[in-house]
Amino acid sequence: MNCDICQAPFQPTNKNHRHCHNNCTAKLYAARKKVRLQIKEALKALRTPEQVNEFNQSLSSVLGVN
Ligand SMILES: [Zn+2]
């Protein structure tokens, strides 16, 4: 399969693998870590469950998680 990030073909060693080892996994991890920090800050501003839900949905699209 091809890496989600750099599009290079690679051989996944398990079915959850979507990124090659050309730093792409590390890049993704760093990006998510950054997002998590932003989330932490943003959560302080969320006051109602509706706001939290809305935020979680926008987050899922950012992270590519369903
Ligand atoms: Zn890659």
**Domain coverage including residue 29:** 1-66
Q: What is the pLDDT of residues 34-55, one digit of tens each?
A: 989 988 888 888 888 888 888 8
Collapse the DSSP code of 1 into the 3-class scheme (helix H, G, I; strand E, B; otherwise coil) and give the result.
coil
Distance 38 CA to ligand 1 centre (A): 25
Cα gap 41→58, rounded to integer Å: 15
Ion ligand 1 neighbours, Cβ < 5 Å: 3, 5-6, 20, 22, 24
Distance 34 CA to ligand 1 centre (A): 19
Tokens of 23: 């730093």
pTM, to two decimals: 0.48
Please state the domain count of the chain: 1
Q: How far is the CA of 17 from the centre of ligand 1 (A)?
A: 11
Rounded to the nearest integer, the mean pLDDT of the chain is: 85
